[in-house]
Chains A and B, each alone.
Chain A
Amino acid sequence: MKRILYFALSIFLLVSCAPKPSGPQTLTVMTHDSFAATDTVIQSFEQANNAKVTFIKSGDAGAALNKAILSKDAPLADVFYGVDNTFLSRALTADIYVPYNSPALKNIPVEFQLDPSHRALPVDYGDVCINYDKAYFASHNLAVPQSLEDLIKPAYKGLLVVENPATSSPGLAFLLATVKHFGDPNYIGYWKDLRANGLVVVDGWETAYYTNFSGSSGKGPQPMVVSYGTSPAAEVMFASTPLSDSPTASILGPDTCFRQIEFVGILKGTRERALAEKFVDFMLSEKFQADMPAQMFVYPVVPNVALPDAFVKYSQTAPQPAVLSPDDIAQNRDAWIQAWTDAVLH
């Protein structure tokens, strides 16, 4: 009995007397699960600033942001990275960031700077594109579709898998691309045509890519999948045997890709404002920008940063990506998703 009492007591002590996690010179960065960086790159920041950087990963981009918003009165971290343009308005409306006009912004093209108040600073971008299995189209003597309109042709019946926009970030991006291309409400008619043409919908990117897509190691039944423009490069970089060419490629037609831009910002209530600013500057510096492509398969927003070989060879950015304003997205997102759900799932 005594043991149990001691035990309960010790739990209480642990809870109440745990040392404060942000001691002097510890910076906590909250981000999504896909965040990655080279160890020496982060270490160089830590050494230069005599600081320790701790990361908290909180699910996919949407989940991580919502958790950041939920905890805005008592923030878990000092810096939040990973808001993209589809969620940017939500972050700005929830007012989780403090403005920071970083000197590094001057190097970044204006097209990426969607927040004039400089609360959210662009870090990287990438396209959500339809990837296709090159071998499938070659062996079936089938022409690769070049536009969204091509996808509803009978020749491509049952060949496309997409993610549910309610549960997946690339799924939402692709929905937004069709909204941009066909306009509201015509995009619904397009999706109904896609559905009639044997569209396959799954909940998450992992399932779509590894279970349904024939070009991945999962060897699924669909030769086209909504993924990222950089996925073909990743297939080469993470091939189990050296490949001379990527097994997949992206369809780069008008509005077939949706451009995602990711932002970083300093959380309101940070106890390490100065260090947080330094970290944001660091993320926009050439060192970090050059590290991102191979780690997270995104493009740096700072122009003329050297890219990995595989990026240059196998990955292209869309010449005409679909773009929607964050405010437009914020106002209509839920309605678009609901209309999509009714048209495609029910």
Chain B
Amino acid sequence: MNSIFPRRALLWLAPLTFLAVFFFYPFFRILFFSFDPSTLNPSNLAFSFHVLLFTFYQAILSTLLTLLIGLPSAYLFAHFEFRGKSLLRALTAVPFMLPTVVVAAGFNALLGPRGWVNLGLANLFARLHHSLSPSPFIPFIGTLGAILLAHVFYNTTIVIRIVGNALSRLDPKLEQVARSLGADPPRVWWKVILPLLRPSLLAASLLVFLFDFTSFGVILLLGGPRFATLEVEIYVQALQLFNLPLAALLSLIQLLCTLTFSILYTRTLTYSTVQTAPRSPVTHKAQNVLDKIFVTSLIFLLSALFVLPMLALPLRSVSRLDADRGDRAQLQTGFTTDYYTELFINRNNSIFYVPPFQAAINSLGYAVATVLLSLLLGLPAASALAKPGRLEKILDPILILPLGASAVTLGLGFILAFGRLLTYPWLVPLAHTLVALPFVIRTLQPALASIPDRLRQAAASLGASPFRAWQTVDWPILRRATLSAATFAFTISLGEFGATALLARPEYPTIPVAIYRFLSQPGGLNYGQAMAMATLLMTLTTAGILLIEKLRLPGAGEF
């Protein structure tokens, strides 16, 4: 026991130091600076409660919907082999890093008032009624439905990756035995698979919930002014109305809620992770009719959900939209590569102009640094959490906090805490790591916990040093989870906008920052270049994810 304690403390040293310096210090500094007990009056509290209620409502609905789509998808990817599987899997992860403005543009092109769906319906009805209705047939933008759909679009990949990992580690014989004992497929799910997936299900649900709970861009851009979450109100109060005390109150409420969820999560999680020997995931082609229906319909649904909204961006990036403006009958009038060539021209001689390659390199540099940093910090924390003691039960909820804390508040905290250090580019990957770390830890922890101790003991008894034992026993099992964790960190960093906009020097913008710049000025060329840049970002992320997943890391064969 005694010999274990210092080792544990060492495992925690780096991650906790990191959180203390880059999360707790700035966050509480701004809270202490702004909080004012006089804000605790009935009208403010009633207002906060009202906002909190909606925040909860939409987050719970979004999480349930995400699970509804994510669970069958996780099963699809864990159990079936089909053409284009790795591409579809990579595509489901792409939304995760797309800036909200781009996603909103995609959804708008598909479901907006003049999107393909509504335009198609309008044309259909115009033939019947000989008139064009000014209002869309299916109102989408500005509805709760838009918020929910966007959340599902963003977060399904979390369920696919975290639950899918656990599913592929699940022994298929358990399912077979259950079937032979008379359980039909729904009961196999309910009685065997879901209980065994509980730790990863809880982890994925918590992460999805926190993302939805702190939703900001989606609410503003797709939900519109009728909807406000805590984070949106914090932004309005802190940055537009400069009502810092009320913003601090809302941040505190949000933080306490996050803490409560995290503690509930840690309590519910019994850590009864089933230890399994490493084995290869068994995937096969759909065999019977039911399987084929399941696989085909789900591929269809996922393609519709993930590919269609994103398809609008590359399409618009090569369509000349405003030629011949006198005749409005035609919306898209011809193919052009102008927007791409224009990206390479600093037409305005702007001091902030950045060629797309440079923006891509900036983005990639930050992303790679984030992956390395979050793995370095996440591995020791996840190792400690894999065999939790009293210390871990206390520390575990704390690790999740950065994900559920107000980003606006944290950004203001950075200003107070770091002052002129903010102009240093290395703060960007550090900020990205704050968001990525909970994901990395949640992805690695179940895999680490599933490694049977006797394997390590066996390796040690065969004369393996602790490092060799880790290399030969832990690493092959961890490899898959590490890749998932790396993918999360990579995409989070590539798509992160809020912190990057605050911290990155304007001369070193990332791709999302460059997209925002184009969209903040009028003109067809700006819009087209934004779409072209977004297409580049999508291509880059898809390629990055595919590469990470195909990467055969040294020291391990395919299990």
A interface list, Cβ under 8 A from B: 1, 3-5, 7-8, 11-12, 14-15, 18, 20-22, 28, 33-34, 36-42, 54-59, 62-63, 66-67, 69-71, 74, 76, 90, 135-136, 139, 157-159, 164, 166-167, 201-207, 209-212, 214, 216-221, 227-228, 231, 234-241, 243, 247, 294-295, 297, 334, 337, 345
Interface string of B405-438 (1 = CB under 8 A from A): 0000000100110011111101000000000000
Known contacts: A21-B420, A167-B240, A203-B225. The answer to whether A238 contacts B113 by CB under 8 A is no
Cα distance A55–B505 in the bound complex, in angstroms: 7
Known contacts: A5-B13, A167-B220, A240-B323. The answer to whether A216 contacts B522 by CB under 8 A is yes
Cα distance A158–B133 in the bound complex, in angstroms: 11
Contact call A211/B242, Cβ cutoff below 8 A: no
> Looking at the complex, which one of B7, B507, B517, B527 makes contact with A218 (CB distance below 8 Å)?
B527
| CB-nearest residue of chain A to B136 | A221
> Looking at the complex, which one of B14, B18, B350 makes contact with A37 (CB distance below 8 Å)?
B350
Cα distance A40–B348 in the bound complex, in angstroms: 11
Cα distance A20–B424 in the bound complex, in angstroms: 10
Pairs across A and B, CB under 8 Å, 29 listed: A3-B376, A5-B10, A5-B13, A8-B13, A8-B17, A12-B21, A21-B424, A28-B423, A38-B348, A38-B349, A39-B349, A42-B351, A54-B423, A57-B506, A63-B239, A74-B416, A76-B419, A76-B423, A90-B242, A166-B240, A201-B224, A204-B221, A205-B520, A212-B113, A216-B524, A218-B105, A221-B114, A221-B135, A240-B338
| CB-nearest residue of chain B to A87 | B242
Contact call B502/A238, Cβ cutoff below 8 A: no
Q: Which residues of B contact A20 (CB under 8 A)?
A: 420
Q: Which residues of A contact B422 (CB under 8 A)?
A: 56, 76
Q: Does B1 make an interface contact (CB < 8 A)?
A: no
B interface list, Cβ under 8 A from A: 7, 10, 13-14, 17-18, 21, 101, 104-105, 108, 112-114, 134-136, 141-142, 220-221, 224-226, 235-236, 238-244, 320-323, 325-326, 328, 331, 336, 338-339, 346, 348-353, 376, 380, 412, 415-416, 419-424, 426, 501-502, 505-507, 516-517, 519-528
Query: What is the CB-to-nearest-CB distance from A11 to chain B, in angstroms, rounded to a whole number?
Result: 7
Cα distance A244–B279 in the bound complex, in angstroms: 68
Known contacts: A39-B353, A220-B114. The answer to whether A235 contacts B522 by CB under 8 A is yes
Contact call A40/B224, Cβ cutoff below 8 A: no
Cα distance A38–B350 in the bound complex, in angstroms: 4
| CB-nearest residue of chain B to A239 | B524
Known contacts: A11-B21, A28-B420. The answer to whether A135 contacts B326 by CB under 8 A is yes
Cα distance A235–B523 in the bound complex, in angstroms: 4
Known contacts: A15-B21, A241-B322. The answer to whether A67 contacts B412 by CB under 8 A is yes
Query: What is the CB-to-nearest-CB distance from B60 to chain A, in angstroms, rounded to a whole number?
Result: 23
Cα distance A227–B523 in the bound complex, in angstroms: 12
Question: Which of A4, A55, A237 has its CB near the most chain B CB atoms (within 10 A)?
Answer: A4
Contact call A345/B320, Cβ cutoff below 8 A: no
Known: A21-B420, A38-B351, A238-B525. 4 other contacts (CB 8 A): A8-B17, A28-B420, A38-B349, A239-B322
Q: Which residues of A contact B7 (CB under 8 A)?
A: 1
Q: Which residues of A contact B523 (CB under 8 A)?
A: 217, 234-239
Contact call B525/A57, Cβ cutoff below 8 A: no
| CB-nearest residue of chain A to B419 | A74
Query: What is the CB-to-nearest-CB distance from B39 to chain A, in angstroms, rounded to a whole number?
Result: 14
> Looking at the complex, which one of B14, B105, B225, B338 makes contact with A201 (CB distance below 8 Å)?
B225
Contact call A295/B519, Cβ cutoff below 8 A: no
Cα distance A334–B535 in the bound complex, in angstroms: 40
| CB-nearest residue of chain A to B21 | A15
Contact call A8/B522, Cβ cutoff below 8 A: no
Q: Which residues of A contact B326 (CB under 8 A)?
A: 135
Q: Which residues of B contact A337 (CB under 8 A)?
A: 241
Known contacts: A4-B376, A240-B322. The answer to whether A15 contacts B522 by CB under 8 A is no
Contact call A217/B524, Cβ cutoff below 8 A: yes
Q: Which residues of B contact A209 (CB under 8 A)?
A: 522
Q: Which residues of B contact A206 (CB under 8 A)?
A: 101, 221, 519-520
Cα distance A96–B26 in the bound complex, in angstroms: 22
> Looking at the complex, which one of A135, A239, A334 makes contact with B328 (CB distance below 8 Å)?
A135
Cα distance A202–B522 in the bound complex, in angstroms: 17
Cα distance A237–B114 in the bound complex, in angstroms: 25
Q: Which residues of B contact A158 (CB under 8 A)?
A: 134-135
Cα distance A345–B423 in the bound complex, in angstroms: 39
Q: Which residues of A contact B17 (CB under 8 A)?
A: 8, 11-12
Q: Which residues of A contact B325 (CB under 8 A)?
A: 135, 243, 247
Contact call A238/B21, Cβ cutoff below 8 A: no
Cα distance A218–B135 in the bound complex, in angstroms: 16
Known contacts: A57-B506, A345-B226. The answer to whether A34 contacts B416 by CB under 8 A is no
Contact call B321/A202, Cβ cutoff below 8 A: no
Cα distance A42–B346 in the bound complex, in angstroms: 15
Query: What is the CB-to-nearest-CB distance from A196 to chain B, in angstroms, rounded to a whole number?
Result: 15
Query: What is the CB-to-nearest-CB distance from B336 to chain A, in angstroms, rounded to a whole number?
Result: 7
Contact call B114/A219, Cβ cutoff below 8 A: yes
Contact call B320/A241, Cβ cutoff below 8 A: yes
Contact call A220/B113, Cβ cutoff below 8 A: yes
Contact call A204/B220, Cβ cutoff below 8 A: yes
> Looking at the complex, which one of B220, B242, B321, B526 makes contact with A203 (CB distance below 8 Å)?
B220
Cα distance A231–B527 in the bound complex, in angstroms: 13
Q: Which residues of A contact B336 (CB under 8 A)?
A: 240
Cα distance A21–B239 in the bound complex, in angstroms: 26
Contact call B526/A211, Cβ cutoff below 8 A: no
Q: Which residues of A contact B243 (CB under 8 A)?
A: 334
Contact call B21/A240, Cβ cutoff below 8 A: no
Q: Which residues of B contact A55 (CB under 8 A)?
A: 351-352, 505-507
Contact call B328/A136, Cβ cutoff below 8 A: yes
Known contacts: A5-B14, A38-B350. The answer to whether A217 contacts B322 by CB under 8 A is yes
Q: Which residues of A contact B339 (CB under 8 A)?
A: 240
Q: Which residues of A contact B108 (CB under 8 A)?
A: 211, 218, 220
Known contacts: A15-B21, A38-B348, A221-B136. The answer to whether A210 contacts B236 by CB under 8 A is no
Known contacts: A21-B420, A211-B104. The answer to whether A238 contacts B521 by CB under 8 A is yes
| CB-nearest residue of chain B to A225 | B522
| CB-nearest residue of chain B to A206 | B519
Known contacts: A69-B242, A76-B420. The answer to whether A210 contacts B10 by CB under 8 A is no
Contact call B520/A238, Cβ cutoff below 8 A: no
| CB-nearest residue of chain B to A296 | B521
Q: Which residues of A contact B14 (CB under 8 A)?
A: 4-5, 7-8
Query: What is the CB-to-nearest-CB distance from B371 to chain A, in angstroms, rounded to a whole number?
Result: 14
Cα distance A238–B17 in the bound complex, in angstroms: 49
Query: What is the CB-to-nearest-CB distance from A90 to chain B, in angstroms, rounded to a whole number?
Result: 7
| CB-nearest residue of chain B to A90 | B242
